[in-house]
Every structure is written in structure tokens, then in C-alpha cells.
Amino acid sequence: MAARLDEYEHSNVAQLMFEKNRAEAVINSLQEAGFGVDLEGRVLFANHFALDLLGLKSTEIVGKALNVLCTRNDLLRHIVESATGAPFKIVSDGKEQFFVREQTPILKDGQALGFLYTLHNITTFQERDTAKTNFIATISHELKTPLAAADIGLKLLEKNPANNLSAEQLDIVHDLQRDNARLIKLVSELLDLSQVEAGRLNLRIAPVSVSEAVDLALAAVQSAVREKRIAVHMDLEGGLPDLEADREKTVWVLVNLLTNAIRYSPESGVIAISARKDKNRTVRLLVRDQGPGVPAGIQEKIFQPFFKANTTGGQNKSSGLGLSIAREFMKAMNGEIGVVSKPGEGAEFWIRFRGLS
């Protein structure tokens, strides 16, 4: 019986070792860095790619407590604490590489056994994205100067009485001015987008008066308001604290929201602008229109670059960049932006800032 038990024990050990070696071979054959952690926070395994990136040996990490390891290895701590899907840079062998982290539960029979951390190498995509951003910035910069010169020339042509332009010719000049203005706006938005993507936003955070920001934004859209005979109602709560924000970017966001509200509002419609104190000493500004509204299914998509809501019967001539840039500006200022809407009942866009004490 003792001999049989000894044989059984050794056969089980051999089977376990075989399964362990096979699992390690599978893990090490992965072309991406990965390591596993059990529910108690101990590292179960780490493949060769992960060990190389972390600069550790298998014996230095496997079986050890993850929280203790994080205090000794800054990169491991960053990997564990970083948000899933957020790109980060690792310098390995003198080369910059970019990764995104994915955390996946390890399951058996529906029960969680731990978590698998995987690092996806996105260096190639990051390099292409950087090249694309630089290309857009260069082209946009080169286009802006001749477009501005063309705008000045068209204004001189329109206002110079010596030209003796006929009514039909003046109409052509006005059409050219509108098209040129639209191109200038698109190029400016592309430049803003390239700055956002490259992380080169120059913010000047300082106290910003709510009433002053609203007045500046309204002044910028007065011609569009008059053209569509829009009535603007303002309701700014008294005693609002100054915003902790960049004045130029704040006005830009408000102008974008007002421009959209004017575009989607009917002739002689009403746009309401309000501001009130919100929770935790934040200030919320709202722009409400009487347009067709934003369907629930696309309320998140409208903040993506180049997305155009098909709510105007095919008449949407926007670039699809404004709201995406506005969201990035708000994030950079530690603010938020969102929309509340029901189809046929207009849309209410809101932005929230941190208020100064």
C-alpha cells in the first residue's frame, strides 16, 4: 500500500509539473508582455517580455506580493495603477515604446481566480498617429495664411466703390466670403485638434468671470443671432464664484455651443443660457436650444472627432470637430461637458468648471 501511495503521489507531481511547464510555455510564447496576479495579490506568473520590461527575474516576482513589489519598481506600480486603455511610454534598450494596459479576470467554472495584466505594444500606431498629427498641423498652418489673405482681398473687393460690381457679382463675392470663412474655421479647428493630440495646449489658468465669458461668447455670435432672428434669454445665478479656467478656451467652448444651438434652432427660435452653482463648489453653464434634439444613441458619439449628427435633413455643414475639441479643452481645464436631450424637445449642453473659493 505504501508503494502504491508513493507511486500515486509521484504520478500526481509529475502531472502537475507537466501542466505547469505547459502553462509556462504558453505564457512565454505570447508576443506581448503579461503577468498574472491571484485574488490575494500574489504574482502567479510573468512571461519573458514582462520580465524584460520590468528588469526583474522570475524568482524576484513570482510568488511575491504585488503591493510590496510596486513599492520597489516604479514601472510595475505605474502599470498596475494606470487606467485601462490609457497609452504610456516605456524606454527599453534606449528606445521609446508605447503600450496600453489591459486587465482581464482569470476565470474557472465562472469563479474568479485572479487577474491577467497584458501590455499591448502600440508603438507603430503611436508613430503613425504622431506623423498624422504633424502632417495636419503643417498643412493647416500653410493653408491658413493664403486663406486669410484671400479673405482680406474679398473684403476689399466688396467695399471698394471703384470696382462698380453688379448685384450678381456682389452675390458671387459674398458666396466666396462665406466659403472662405468656412475653410478658415475648418483649418483653425484642425490646428486646435493637432495641438490637443500632440499634448501642446498652452493653458493660462486664472480666475474667469462667468458673466464676462458669456458676454464675450455672445458678442462673437451676434451676426448669426441677427441673421436667424434668434432670441437669447440669459439667467445667471447671483454670487457665482469665478471659474478656475483658461479664459480664451472657455469662451471658445461657449462660442461652439452657441454656434451649434443657432445652427439647429428654427428661425425666430429661442436660446437659453443659464449658470448656477453646482455641487462641490463647481459652476455649471447650460446652453439650451429648440432644435430637433440629439437621439440617445448618439449623445456620446457627437463628442468624437468628425462625427456629424444627421438631424438636419442633410444640411449639417459643420466639420464635426467642434464638440470633440470642446471636450478636450474641458478635460485640460479639469472640467466636464455633456448633453441632455430628447428627440423633438431641443438639446441642453452643459459645461462644468471648478469654482474658486
| In the predicted structure, residue 18 carries a pLDDT above the cut 60 | no
Neighbours of 203 (CB within 10 A): 12
The secondary structure of the chain in percent helix, strand, coil, rounded to multiples of 5, reads 50, 25, 25
Q: How confident is the model at residue 281 (pLDDT cuts 50, 70, 90)?
A: confident
Q: How confident is the model at residue 310 (pLDDT cuts 50, 70, 90)?
A: low
Mean per-residue pLDDT over the chain, rounded: 81
User: Which pLDDT value is given to residue 278?
Assistant: 84
pLDDT by residue (tens digit) across 140-181?
A: 667 777 877 787 787 777 777 666 777 787 788 778 887 777
| In the predicted structure, residue 208 carries a pLDDT above the cut 80 | yes
Helix, coil or strand: residue 44: strand
User: Which pLDDT value is given to residue 195?
Assistant: 67
Closest CA to 103 of 83, 129, 128: 83
| In the predicted structure, residue 49 carries a pLDDT above the cut 90 | no
Q: How confident is the model at residue 52 (pLDDT cuts 50, 70, 90)?
A: confident
| In the predicted structure, residue 134 carries a pLDDT above the cut 90 | no
Neighbours of 190 (CB within 10 A): 20
> Which residue has better confidence, 87 or 332?
332
Helix, coil or strand: residue 63: coil
d(CA 318, CA 326): 14
DSSP 177-190: HHHHHHHHHHHHHH
Please, what are the domains in the chain?
Answer: 31-121 (3.30.450.20), 126-198 (1.10.287), 205-354 (3.30.565.10)
| In the predicted structure, residue 313 carries a pLDDT above the cut 50 | no
User: Which pLDDT value is given to residue 235?
Assistant: 92
| In the predicted structure, residue 198 carries a pLDDT above the cut 70 | no
Taking the whole predicted model, whether its pTM rises above 0.95 is answered as: no
Q: How confident is the model at residue 196 (pLDDT cuts 50, 70, 90)?
A: low
**Cα angle 116, 300, 256; round to 5:** 130
What average pLDDT score do residues 41-63 get? 87
User: Which pLDDT value is given to residue 314?
Assistant: 40
Helices 167-198 and 123-159: angle between axes, nearest 10 degrees: 150
User: Which pLDDT value is given to residue 6?
Assistant: 64
User: Which pLDDT value is given to residue 211?
Assistant: 92
